[in-house]
Amino acid sequence: MAIQKPTQSELDILSILWQKGPLTVRDVHEIYTRRKSEVGYTTVLKFMQVMHEKGLLSRDTTSRAHVYETAVPVEEMQSLLVKEMLDGPFLGSAKSLVLRALSTSPSTPEELDEIRQLIDQLANQKEK
Q: What are phi and psi of 60, to 5 degrees?
A: -100, 115
Instruction: Tell me the CATH number for domain 8-70.
Output: 1.10.10.10
Q: What is the pLDDT of residue 3?
A: 82
Domain boundaries, the chain: 8-70, 88-127
d(CA 97, CA 102): 9
Q: What is the pLDDT of residue 128?
A: 66
pTM of the model: 0.82
Q: What is the pLDDT of residue 127?
A: 75
> H/E/C letters for each residue in the chain?
CCCCCCCHHHHHHHHHHHHHCCEEHHHHHHHHHHHCCCCCHHHHHHHHHHHHHHCCEEEECCCCCCEEEECCCHHHHHHHHHHHHHHCCCCCCHHHHHHHHHHHCCCCHHHHHHHHHHHHHHHHHHHC
Q: What is the pLDDT of residue 37?
A: 79
Q: What is the pLDDT of residue 19?
A: 97
Please list the rounded mean pLDDT of every run of 10 residues in the chain (128 residues). 87 97 97 90 96 95 93 94 93 92 91 92 82
